[in-house]
């Protein structure tokens, strides 16, 4: 029998309407809807047509075309925001969603999403309430601040603070604090957006109290301090303390505003990390308003938090911008549950970020040895080695924690990494000196079995 020509194969392609009449499509329409199924069928036909034109001898049977359409539908509808296994050793990994939530926080979010909730309703009084109360009282109790306000992230919190308190006036800041964080977020740009005028004082490496004092005039609205959250200036440096700047600001009846950033409510120094200024320390030093994140060292959902003087927080709450950047019910539920861990003294064991920071080296080493042994038993060349974990998330730059790594010896570490990323639950590790490394510190307990299975499967399938 003569071989079909490409033109003959093209003529054999059925129409979309013909495919829609086949029995198999009935199930597809039931599962995916007619409109999306039709799109998938068109996509399948177009892909097959292109392949034939490129010289491939494909017999375009309805079964082949429908299977291709189902494959397209499954790929198209697979969520892009999917769980991954973080084996990098970066605890607060911005690209991987920052802080994983505690079990209590996840349950609180699920409960708030499952039904109606008292988001803006006072159940006791039987009348409209305020969403700000759900986390504000907890924040006030933990920090000792007079008032608190939660918005959707810290960039929004800083913008709200400057827009409300400084618009049309001058804000004094050290040149050494004009930071840029991930995604191109720059303090000078935020100031410009807020309508406040930036007044830079001092130099990149040295700024003194008298530099701030000389810049104060009748147009000054506030002094702003921005924590060096993602970089360090070392060597010949000098910077006034918060307490000294608070004294200066209050002498001139100005507020001291502090972008603390990381949301640290506990001291990290006992765990071998360089000291990080806490939110509480900022308030105790005299800052009138402190802005920080909910999803970094605080260990909760993405949020921006303002704590401080009641009159300043009230002004921010009444600013129209506050509604545009307010936190939703899921954020507030998760944040409240996370803050409760601090109040009950359970933060180190309940909040994953702090559990990873505080985890004893002996436990990490035991995990690494056990995982490597299990991998070797299944034919994977795995050993252990010393390494370092980092906090990440723009926090504690230049400091890290000792860890024990699982080392996978592969001739093509990059290929192994690609196969692991392509799994049902992608595994994200790191490559160093041609070896694939897994850090147990950041692997969640419930993900260990999946991790081992993926490492074994991807190590044996190198094609």
Q: What is the CATH number of the domain that holds 120?
A: 3.40.640.10
Q: How many CB atoms lie within 10 A of CB 422?
A: 11
Paired sense of beta strands 427-428 and 304-308, if any:
unpaired
Residues 44, 50, 56: CA angle, nearest 5 degrees? 105
Question: What's the start-to-end Cα distance of the chain, in Å?
Answer: 36
Q: How many CB atoms lie within 10 A of CB 290?
A: 31
Residues 87, 90, 93: CA angle, nearest 5 degrees? 100
216 and 256 housed in the same domain: yes
pLDDT of residue 297: 95
pLDDT of residue 234: 61
- 231 has pLDDT over 60: no
Q: What letter would DSSP give residue 280?
A: H
Q: What are phi and psi of 101, to 5 degrees?
A: -90, 155
pLDDT of residue 446: 95
Q: What are phi and psi of 61, to 5 degrees?
A: -75, 155
Q: What are phi and psi of 340, to 5 degrees?
A: -60, -30
pLDDT of residue 201: 87
Q: Which residues contact 175 (CB under 8 A, 6 or more apart)?
A: 200, 201, 202, 203, 204, 207
- 237 has pLDDT over 80: no
Q: Is residue 141 part of a domain?
A: yes
Last residue of a domain, one of 27, 44, 77: 77
Query: What DSSP letter does each residue of 5-17 carry, written as one string?
Result: PHHHHHHHPPPHH
Residue span of the structural domain in which 58 resides: 6-77
326 and 368 housed in the same domain: no
More confident residue, 53 or 317: 317
Q: What letter would DSSP give residue 275?
A: P
pLDDT of residue 291: 97
373 and 324 housed in the same domain: no
User: pLDDT tier at 238 (50, 70, 90 boundaries)?
Assistant: confident
107 and 33 housed in the same domain: no
217 by DSSP, 3-state: which? coil
- 259 has pLDDT over 70: yes
428 by DSSP, 3-state: which? strand
* Average pLDDT, rounded, for the chain: 90
Q: How many CB atoms lie within 10 A of CB 326?
A: 18
For helices 413-421 and 448-460, the axis angle rounded to 10 degrees is 130
Contact 260, 227 (CB under 8 A): yes
Looking up residue 396, the CATH number of its domain turns out to be: 3.90.1150.180
Q: Is residue 1 part of a domain?
A: no
Of 326, 324, 335, nearest to 298 by C-alpha is 335
Q: Which two tokens stand for residue 376?
A: 């070797």
Residues 191, 278, 353: CA angle, nearest 5 degrees? 100
- 383 has pLDDT over 60: yes
Q: What letter would DSSP give residue 253?
A: T
- 138 has pLDDT over 80: yes
Q: Is residue 386 part of a domain?
A: yes
pLDDT of residue 46: 92
User: pLDDT tier at 23 (50, 70, 90 boundaries)?
Assistant: confident
pLDDT of residue 2: 38
57 and 115 housed in the same domain: no
d(CA 414, CA 387): 19
Of 359, 357, 429, nearest to 395 by C-alpha is 357
155 and 287 housed in the same domain: yes
132 and 279 housed in the same domain: yes
Percentage with pLDDT > 90 across the chain: 69
- 266 has pLDDT over 60: yes
- Bridge partners of 3, per DSSP, are none
167 and 125 housed in the same domain: yes
Q: Is 1 exposed, middle or buried (0-12, 13-18, 19+ CB in 10 A)?
A: exposed
Query: What DSSP letter does each residue of 61-105 carry, written as one string?
Result: -HHHHHHHHHHHHHHHHS-SS---EE-SSEEEBGGGTBSPPPHHH
Overall number of domains in the chain: 3
442 and 321 housed in the same domain: no
pLDDT of residue 202: 83
327 by DSSP, 3-state: which? coil
pLDDT of residue 183: 56
178 and 272 housed in the same domain: yes
pLDDT of residue 1: 34
Poorest-pLDDT segment among 202-216, 311-325, 340-354, 401-415: 202-216
Contact 158, 291 (CB under 8 A): yes
- 3 has pLDDT over 80: no
d(CA 269, CA 361): 16
Mean pLDDT for 413-441 is 94
User: pLDDT tier at 462 (50, 70, 90 boundaries)?
Assistant: low
89 and 161 housed in the same domain: no
213 and 331 housed in the same domain: yes
Q: How many CB atoms lie within 10 A of CB 28?
A: 22
Q: E-assigned strands of 146-196? A: 147-151, 170-174, 180-181, 185-186
pLDDT tens digits for 76-96? 998 889 999 999 999 999 899
For residue 276, the Cα-to-chain-centroid distance in whole angstroms is 20
Q: Is residue 448 part of a domain?
A: yes
Mean pLDDT for 42-70 is 87
Poorest-pLDDT segment among 28-32, 87-91, 147-151: 28-32
* Token pair 């001092």: residue: 202
Q: Which two tokens stand for residue 429?
A: 């590790």
């Amino acid at each position: 029998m003569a071989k079909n020509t490409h033109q003959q194969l093209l003529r054999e392609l059925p129409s979309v309407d013909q495919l829609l009449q086949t029995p198999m499509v009935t199930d597809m329409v039931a599962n995916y809807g007619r409109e999306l199924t039709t799109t998938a069928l068109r996509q399948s036909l177009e892909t097959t047509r292109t392949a034939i034109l490129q010289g491939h001898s494909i017999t375009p049977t309805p079964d082949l075309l429908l299977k291709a359409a189902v494959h397209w539908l499954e790929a198209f509808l697979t969520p892009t925001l999917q769980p991954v296994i973080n084996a990098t050793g970066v605890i607060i990994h911005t690209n991987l969603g920052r802080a994983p939530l505690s079990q209590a926080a996840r349950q609180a979010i699920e409960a708030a999403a499952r039904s109606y909730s008292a988001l803006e309703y006072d159940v006791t009084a039987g009348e409209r309430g305020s969403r700000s109360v759900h986390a504000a009282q907890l924040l006030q109790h933990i920090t000792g601040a007079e008032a608190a306000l939660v918005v959707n992230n810290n960039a929004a919190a800083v913008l709200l603070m400057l827009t409300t308190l400084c618009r049309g006036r001058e804000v004094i800041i050290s040149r050494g604090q004009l930071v840029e964080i991930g995604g191109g977020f720059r303090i000078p740009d935020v100031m410009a957006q807020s309508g406040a005028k930036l007044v830079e004082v001092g130099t990149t490496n040295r700024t003194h109290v008298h530099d701030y004092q000389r810049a104060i005039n009748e147009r000054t609205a506030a002094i702003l301090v921005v924590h060096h959250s993602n970089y360090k200036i070392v060597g010949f440096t000098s910077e006034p303390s918060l307490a000294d700047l608070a004294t200066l600001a209050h002498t001139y009846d100005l507020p001291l505003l502090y972008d603390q950033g990381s949301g640290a409510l506990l001291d990290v120094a006992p765990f071998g990390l360089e000291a990080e200024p806490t939110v509480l320390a900022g308030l105790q030093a005299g800052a009138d308003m402190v802005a920080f994140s909910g999803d970094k060292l605080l260990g909760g959902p993405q949020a921006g938090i303002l704590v401080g003087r009641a009159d300043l927080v009230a002004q921010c709450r009444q600013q129209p911008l506050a509604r545009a950047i307010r936190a939703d019910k899921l954020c507030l539920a998760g944040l409240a549950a996370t803050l409760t861990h601090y109040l009950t003294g359970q933060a180190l064991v309940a909040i994953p970020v702090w559990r990873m920071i505080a985890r004893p080296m002996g436990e990490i080493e035991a995990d690494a040895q056990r995982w490597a042994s299990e991998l070797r038993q299944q034919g994977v060349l795995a050993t252990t080695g010393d390494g370092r974990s980092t906090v990440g998330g723009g926090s504690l730059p230049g400091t890290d924690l000792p860890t024990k790594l699982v080392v996978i010896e592969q001739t093509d570490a990059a290929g192994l990494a690609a196969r692991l990323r392509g799994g049902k639950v992608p595994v994200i590790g790191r490559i160093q000196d041609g070896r694939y490394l897994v850090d147990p510190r950041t692997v969640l307990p419930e993900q260990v079995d999946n991790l081992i299975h993926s490492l074994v499967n991807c190590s044996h399938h190198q094609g």
